[in-house]
Structure 1
Amino acid sequence: MMKFKLLYWALFVNQVLFAQSMIYGYLKGEQDKPLDQTVVSLGEEGTIQSVSDRVGYFQFKDVAAGTYLIIINRVGYVPMTLTIKVSPGELKKDLGNIKLEYNPSQEDEGIITLTEDDFSSDDESSLLQSGISLLQSSQDVFSKTASFELGSYWFKVRGIDNSYANIMFNGIPMSKNRTGKPDFGNWGGLNNVVRYPYELAENNNISNYSFSNLGGTTYYDTRSSSYRKGFQFTYSFSNRTYQHRVMTTYSSGMLPSGWAFTFSGSRRWMEEGVIDGTYNDSYAYFTSIEKKINDKHKLNLTTFGSPARRTGMSPNTQEVYDLRGKNYNSYWGWQDREKRNERVKRIFEPIVMFTHYWNLSDQSKVTTTASYQFGYNKSSRLNRYEADSPSPTYYKNLPSYWLSQGNLSEYEHSLHAWENNDLAITQLNWDQLYKANNHAPTYQDPYSGQLGRRASYFLVDDIIKDKTFNAATHLQTFLNDNWKLFFNINYQNLVSNNYREVNDLLGADFAVNKSSFIKGDGSISSANDYNYLKPGSVARKGDKTEYDYQLFRQEFTGNATSRLTVNRWEVAVSFLFGWNEAYRDGKFKHGLYPNNSYGRSDKANFIELGLRTGIIYKINGRNFMILNSAYFESSPTLDEIFVNSRLNNDIIPTLSNQRINTNDLTYVVKSPVMKARITGYYTKIKNAVEISRYYAKGVSLEESQDAFVSEVLTGTEKEFLGGELGLDWKLTPSITLSGIASLGQYSYKNNPNLYILSDNSPGIHDYGSSYMKNYKITGTPQKAYTVAIRYYSPQYWWAGISSNFLQDIYSNVSSLSRTQNFIMKDDAFPYEDITPKNVKSVLKQKQFQDVFMVNANIGKSIKVGKYILSLNASINNILNERGYVTGSFEQGRNSNYEQLENDKSLAYPLFDNMLFYDRGRSYFINVSLKF
């Protein structure tokens, strides 16, 4: 008996002396609002981390007796460090409510509030805290600077465009089926409610909510109770994409009744932008209503939309810019003392979402969303029938044309008109268009017998009306503290109506449903009829003309992700399975394609598979190594399946999935004084499809040498190789020096096959290999550098200045000019005196000048009671550098050696590269009131 008592007391003393404790507490912010998604570190090295949940709760389990540092970091609040002691035998350490001091000057360095494109959470947030997500924080200097400094200069991280980006609202993907690109205009002006994503898995990082793509995943949770409680009013004044912006947002928080409401609305407008003849008038609304049924079930209804009306700007040759300056825009002209732009885009595609949040247990949760998006996307343009081009920059309307013809008198007359801005010559002449229609030939409608003036010029709208149903389910579960699983299932069904509609007949009675570019036989049933079902028909205002068809697509994707933490290692693995099918249903029977334009096409089916891995090794609490690797397939978009969908049902030959292999290796340092990362990456894309449309001369088609063509590259291989460096160094507690460098080399790695589809010649024409290997991929500078210094005052104001340097900027090249057709005078013989050196010289890819630009920003926050007033201002491109070419492409019009060589020998080539220039110095002033 005595031995038993001694053993009992020994075990009791051992349990008391060596028992491990649990440390927990609650984080509070302004107005005692719980702070979720806040990183709390245990120990000076921060090797053990927790993330606060929706009520601000965080915890650390199995903590041995001893003295520890608790380090708390959250954007917008002063970092806090606590020293705590865990006594032997103390099983629980309750830290109670920990209130952080609000500091607006810490909010993403202030400058983020100044951008137009910075376009928050519950107990699921703890699932996001993983080493794999280490680079998802807004504290990563490279990602932040690349987005908000270089992003305003059209810089693309790793050379990847947004067709590879995955943006999701409550699990619903926002990418358009036609292009694969998200339309940011669908939620433009809603910055207050989509400013902070719930998850940001950039580049090659693994997401919990999707398999991602090369551009990563940005996930927004629009649950009403996740938004900051209170009211916010914002006014902005700018010369960027708008002149004025007003935004108002209100969120009730979770009410005692179990309801929560969030509303936001905005308007952005400008009468004329920096580029002549452009304007913008856009609205936006957002509503989120949440109902808490009980602790396990919550429902949320979300709806948002952004009706907008804005105009386009034209690309121009260097000759035009030299004559009229870099703000010139050929798309407008005076009519009744008002500027009228032919390119007007009107868009309104609202979306409604219904989300169910289900807490299965403390370890498992399910989120399910169903959504429906509808509306319209209209783009206007001038059309013509048996008439010359009305564009003032048409090559025959420029001085260089008359000089090339040796007509000096006409050259001097044209040059004088352009240099002195004769608006009848230099801009669209709307009066002349009306006059031409008043003198147009009469035409008899064969169905009504009505005689009328048929339009030589008329305005049309290209209209897309998508109806998209989505359903998505996200399941997450903790198998234990170190092992987490995520499952995502998505289904999408699209019905897309596409047609061209007469917008304005410009004084005529109707337009003829025929093409003047297709040479028919002159009869009513000729090949130039847009609709062979009604040959010779006419179209009045509001009628359909030229094309009318539907696209159908349905898709299913499944994704599973596992995250495992073992000692200093964190490993994540993600799998993808996807299936989709698409087909076209033509409503017009085109005269050129009578057997392949009306009715349903064959179905195109694709299966996608993919694997991602992410590994982190924690050297210590401040040094990390990260390896991400992925191999996956991506199916073609609708535009890549039906390349000439306006005319026929043809599917691109040899079409298959893109095959993508991407890898990156990163070293990260995080210390109180310095944060840095260095990354090397390599991406290879195979079987890509590239499409461009233009008017070409010298195309050896069966019916005509000159034609509007669709140029289709298939089997394209691309390589993206480079490195990234980001450094953030606190010189003093108030002064921070930062810098980034992005060194990339993006190029084509093979000679893909080229197909030509013409608007005036039937069939698909195989041009063989296009010799694209080693040409540079365009759309972004391939190298970029930024150095910035910022000052944060304890009195809640801040200022910063940055310098940006961009290098290796190239023009896009014409694939047709790099085929065998380019050097052939006829089917059997090449052009005389042609040599490889001459061809290389003529086809050399255009490289533009390097550019240096300086930005600055300043801000101040004032807090009086519950009111917070924030004032911000920024200036981009202070030195007003106008030599930066943000986009360029070869016209492709001269598709043979003789024509192109002759054209390039001119002082001003008639078909020189088309260019877009940066808009120069810009400013942004922002005033925001919160309470």
Structure 2
Amino acid sequence: MQKKSTLVYATLAFMIASNTALAQQVITGKVTDGNQPIAGATVLIPGTKVGTSTDANGNFSITAPQNNGQIQIKFVGHATQVVKFNNESPIGTIILTPTEGQSIDEIIIVGKSIIDIAEGRKTPIAVSTITQQEIEEKVGGQDITSTLVNTPSVYVTSQAKGFGESSMSTRGFDQSNTAFLLNGQPINGMDNGRVYWSNWSGLTDIASLIQIQRGLGSSKLAISSVGGTTNFVTKSADMKEGGFVKLSVGNDMLRKSTIAYNTGLMKNGFAVSAMLTDWSGDGYMDKTAGAGQNYFLSVGYKVNEKHNLNLMVTGAPQWHQQGYTGKLQTYLDNGRRYNDNIETVNGVSTNYRKNFYHKPVANFNWDWKIDEKSNLGTVVYASIASGGGQSKRTDASKEKVPYLAADMNNHQWYGIVSNYNRKLNDNLSFNVGFDLRDYKGEHYREVTDLLGAKSITHEQKMLIPQSRTYYTTSNTYSTNPWKTFGDQPKSKEDRLAWDYEQVVRYGGLFGQIEYAKNGFTAFFQGSVSQQQNVRIDYYQYDAANERSKNVNNFGYNVKGGLSYSLGGHTLFGNAGYYSRQPYQNNIFMNYANDVNPYADNEEILGLELGYKYANQYVNVNVNAYRTTWANRVTGSSAPATAEQIAKYPDLLNAGELVYQTNYGVKQDHQGVELDVAVRPITNLTIKGFASIGDWIYKGNAISIARNENRQTLGDPTTRDLTGVKVGDAAQTSFGAGARYSIIKNLSVDADYRYYDRLYGALPSNGVQTLRLPSYDLVDAGISYKVQVSNKNAISFRFNVNNLFNEFYISEATSYREATANSTNWNGINTDNYVLIGWGRTWNGSVKFTF
């Protein structure tokens, strides 16, 4: 009897335990905003006290007390979402909708397999993401680079030179060595790696997301990501019908008008979005006016559940007058708006320095969901461009009469990137793809204004065979960016100073494999590439010798990393090595077809460690890095000094620029970064960042100085740069910002930034960089929205930048020591050539959404 009772009790206990086990289930999933993971989101079982938070990668795991039920996901600034579950687990990715602005999941996101945003890889990196709302609020009358100023190890400067003239450094590396991608398409110049933001002013209107990945990043392409990778993700064809009209005004007669309309997803599967912007302004610096337009067209077609297509065309034709660095003393005497390019002609102040450009870009995205475990993404793109920079000259004229001429830089660029991704099992995935590019650049000088002369006679100096020929031209060409494609000189008589083409052909293969299980992740990436460079010079060589030999360079990179996450804490480490081909401008020396013996592959070694922590109230990210870069080529430019003009009177005139090129440079960059976001209450968000770097040159460099006609000034010199500080970026920076919602639809925000240990560019002589005074800036803004109806709203925004009107030096291009006999300002010799940052500026906008 006792045995029977024991058996009965054991059976009952087993049944109860079994029912309890069946009633409980571990539910897993991931929370994102449609583009990036959301860390610290709260996941709850409604009606219970059971809850958890998503980790740094947006993942969560929760034990549910019943087979069929619901979970609730909450995160500040996003609408709460309730998701049903049953016996199936995991439940997949949950996309939260922002409570302000347009939901990202209402946009047809294209190029998911191509665009390397951080969400695409589980192993963390040092990353910061700027949302569409932040872009729209913060840019105002500035370049799109201004959205990244509150990011660790990022320094933005040079805006004072004119519209679109800003430059950006990441971890001390200039933007020619930071990769920029537009929907997966590389946009750094293939000849020199540079990015001119005046050509991309339309991004402020069409970007839905900006993500900067500092250091090694997640990109699989063999690109210029020494400092980092910045991804611009544009709007695609919107699924929701509607549009908006927006009017903006700002200091110095800035005005901007934008209109946009979306058809929404129509019954035939098509969706069309279009946008047009017109802008103009006088510029902050004297005589730096500019004007332009931005256009955007996106046509999406959802073929079926497996195939999604999108064609995008955009461009930003513009012109703007330019400023350059000047002596500090002239700014102190004449104010920070002083422009050294201004001259008085017939009693009128004039600035002949002018940039004009038109660069239409088109890309076609195809997303193919092959099955539940594999996807294929492909983008085919094309870019054509025409434009240049105008200046006043006399040098090419035999008559020595003044005239205006533009140095033209036209190009045609075509490419395709394709990536196949497959999930092998629950823990292992891989992707593989290719990257093909073909580029042809065309360079020459043309006359834009004869300034009253009937014609000018210019000299052609041919190297092979050696000869001198004089040509006379009376033709002039337009600086209107809409006309430059059709208004171009065809004959030698109308092409001055130089006339050559650059051809770059590139092919690359890349791949990645990643493992993830129980909070542990590991990845390995690799790519190989072959690059061919050809230079065709019609000006210095006869037909038999105009084409250089083909220069072929093989390059590669490898990256790997590990991470471990537990309870909101994540530790990770990444390492990478690049053997990067030199740019064509460094392969051919003396602006001729001679191959440069110093142009070896650049060698980059990157190491980084990181820590992330996230919960509902706080996000903390700490990163440490070290990057060593050898065999690199650097360049800078500055107005010719009085000493240089006196030394080379036949090669330099007052107001001309001197270009400095340094070969064989080695740099060592290391530092620590911190960024924090705190949400103490629902309507308040506080953010902070800090970065401390130690960026120095090492070893010897060979330096060559040239004038604007690309003639060498003296013999090459060898300089020992060991221990010299890398300039053009603050090696110490920190800041904080806050956003507070006073009432619904009314919020205020402010940001503070401090910069120290800022050095000037490496000058054309000497082995020192000038240390500049530290400075701090405060920006502030207010937003208000009136909800007229369910579909209609009116939004207001007002910004003030450099609220306290601080006078500061943002960069320098010379090195002159402060002595007891020199005139000094804050420890700086006032004979140094510097650029002064903008004073207090403002802008306001009103937007009607329908």
Counterparts of 1:444-843 in structure 2, within 5 Å, are 454-514=399-459, 535-542=469-476, 543-589=494-540, 599-620=546-567, 622-645=568-591, 648-692=592-636, 711-755=660-704, 767=716, 769-814=718-763, 816-818=765-767
- 1:234-259 residue CA offsets vs partner (Å, 9 max, x unmatched): 2222238x711222222233211111
User: Residue 262 of structure 1 aligns to which amino acid in structure 2?
Assistant: S
User: Residue 919 of structure 1 aligns to which amino acid in structure 2?
Assistant: W
Counterpart Cα distance in 2 of 1:563 and 1:767: 48
Comparing 564-573 and 277-286, the one that deviates more: 564-573
- 1:625-647 residue CA offsets vs partner (Å, 9 max, x unmatched): 121211112221122223432xx
Could you tell me which residue of structure 2 aligns to residue 260 of structure 1? Answer: 271
Paired residue for 1:237, among 233, 249, 260? 249
The answer to whether the 8 Å contact 1:41/1:48 transfers is no
Paired residue for 2:259, among 229, 248, 254? 248
Counterparts of 1:852-863 in structure 2, within 5 Å, are 852-863=776-787
1:324 paired with 2:353, answer no
Structure 1 gaps of 5+ residues are 1-6, 29-33, 52-57, 109-119, 388-442, 444-453, 516-526, 819-843, 892-899
Tell me by how many angstroms 1:38 deviates: 6.8
Counterpart Cα distance in 2 of 1:327 and 1:143: 23
The answer to whether the 8 Å contact 2:635/2:659 transfers is yes
Counterpart Cα distance in 2 of 1:778 and 1:481: 47
User: Residue 237 of structure 1 aligns to which amino acid in structure 2?
Assistant: V
- 1:136-169 residue CA offsets vs partner (Å, 9 max, x unmatched): 4638999966249975657734212221232323
- 1:339-378 residue CA offsets vs partner (Å, 9 max, x unmatched): 5321111100112223332222222121222222113022
- CA 1:493/1:177 → structure 2, altered by over 3 Å: closer, same or farther? same
The answer to whether the 8 Å contact 1:636/1:658 transfers is yes
Could you tell me which residue of structure 1 aligns to residue 48 of structure 2? Answer: none
Structure with max Cα Rg: 1
Counterpart Cα distance in 1 of 2:36 and 2:322: 41
User: Residue 287 of structure 2 aligns to which amino acid in structure 1?
Assistant: G
User: Residue 304 of structure 1 aligns to which amino acid in structure 2?
Assistant: T
- 1:549-594 residue CA offsets vs partner (Å, 9 max, x unmatched): 11111011221112210212111211011110112111112xxxx7
Structure 1 length-normalised TM = 0.74
Tell me by how many angstroms 1:290 deviates: 2.0
Could you tell me which residue of structure 1 aligns to residue 8 of structure 2? Answer: none
1:890 paired with 2:814, answer yes
- CA 1:357/1:267 → structure 2, altered by over 3 Å: closer, same or farther? same
- Structure 2 counterpart SS, 1:817: coil
Tell me by how many angstroms 1:327 deviates: 0.8
User: Residue 505 of structure 1 aligns to which amino acid in structure 2?
Assistant: L
- CA 1:919/1:309 → structure 2, altered by over 3 Å: closer, same or farther? same
- CA 1:634/1:499 → structure 2, altered by over 3 Å: closer, same or farther? same
The answer to whether the 8 Å contact 2:571/2:610 transfers is yes
Could you tell me which residue of structure 1 aligns to residue 150 of structure 2? Answer: 146
- 1:439-467 residue CA offsets vs partner (Å, 9 max, x unmatched): xxxx7xxxxxxxxxx35211101001101
- CA 1:61/1:625 → structure 2, altered by over 3 Å: closer, same or farther? closer
- CA 1:638/1:911 → structure 2, altered by over 3 Å: closer, same or farther? farther
- 1:179-227 residue CA offsets vs partner (Å, 9 max, x unmatched): 2123333331343421315x65443232366767134334455574466
Could you tell me which residue of structure 1 aligns to residue 385 of structure 2? Answer: 375
Counterpart Cα distance in 2 of 1:569 and 1:27: 18
Could you tell me which residue of structure 2 aligns to residue 870 of structure 1? Answer: 795
- CA 1:134/1:765 → structure 2, altered by over 3 Å: closer, same or farther? closer
Tell me by how many angstroms 1:264 deviates: 1.2
Counterpart Cα distance in 1 of 2:157 and 2:829: 29
- Structure 2 counterpart SS, 1:163: helix
- CA 1:321/1:98 → structure 2, altered by over 3 Å: closer, same or farther? closer
Counterparts of 1:348-387 in structure 2, within 5 Å, are 348-385=358-395
- 1:241-287 residue CA offsets vs partner (Å, 9 max, x unmatched): x71122222223321111111111111211x2221111110101111
- Structure 2 counterpart SS, 1:375: strand
- Equivalenced residue count is 776
Counterpart Cα distance in 1 of 2:192 and 2:699: 24
1:196 paired with 2:186, answer no
- CA 1:529/1:339 → structure 2, altered by over 3 Å: closer, same or farther? farther
Could you tell me which residue of structure 1 aligns to residue 192 of structure 2? Answer: 179
Could you tell me which residue of structure 2 aligns to residue 839 of structure 1? Answer: none
Could you tell me which residue of structure 2 aligns to residue 429 of structure 1? Answer: none
1:91 paired with 2:103, answer no
- Structure 2 counterpart SS, 1:321: helix
Counterpart Cα distance in 2 of 1:178 and 1:505: 31
Counterpart Cα distance in 2 of 1:188 and 1:735: 32
By percentage of residues, which structure has more strand? 2
- Structure 1 counterpart SS, 2:453: coil
Tell me by how many angstroms 1:35 deviates: 6.2
The answer to whether the 8 Å contact 1:586/1:599 transfers is yes
By percentage of residues, which structure has more helix? 1
Tell me by how many angstroms 1:493 deviates: 1.0
The answer to whether the 8 Å contact 1:167/1:219 transfers is yes
Counterpart Cα distance in 1 of 2:173 and 2:93: 45
Paired residue for 2:289, among 272, 279, 283? 279
1:207 paired with 2:219, answer yes
Counterparts of 1:394-473 in structure 2, within 5 Å, are 454-473=399-418
Tell me by how many angstroms 1:650 deviates: 2.4
Could you tell me which residue of structure 1 aligns to residue 774 of structure 2? Answer: 850
The answer to whether the 8 Å contact 1:685/1:717 transfers is yes
User: Residue 185 of structure 2 aligns to which amino acid in structure 1?
Assistant: I
Counterpart Cα distance in 1 of 2:799 and 2:295: 26
Tell me by how many angstroms 1:319 deviates: 2.7
Could you tell me which residue of structure 2 aligns to residue 415 of structure 1? Answer: none
- 1:668-687 residue CA offsets vs partner (Å, 9 max, x unmatched): 12122222122211111111
The answer to whether the 8 Å contact 2:264/2:272 transfers is yes
Could you tell me which residue of structure 2 aligns to residue 895 of structure 1? Answer: none
Counterpart Cα distance in 2 of 1:705 and 1:902: 31
Counterparts of 1:46-57 in structure 2, within 5 Å, are 46=53
Counterpart Cα distance in 2 of 1:72 and 1:237: 40
Counterpart Cα distance in 2 of 1:148 and 1:750: 28
User: Residue 848 of structure 2 aligns to which amino acid in structure 1?
Assistant: L
Counterpart Cα distance in 2 of 1:94 and 1:703: 73
Counterpart Cα distance in 2 of 1:762 and 1:217: 35
User: Residue 791 of structure 2 aligns to which amino acid in structure 1?
Assistant: K
Comparing 666-675 and 731-740, the one that deviates more: 731-740
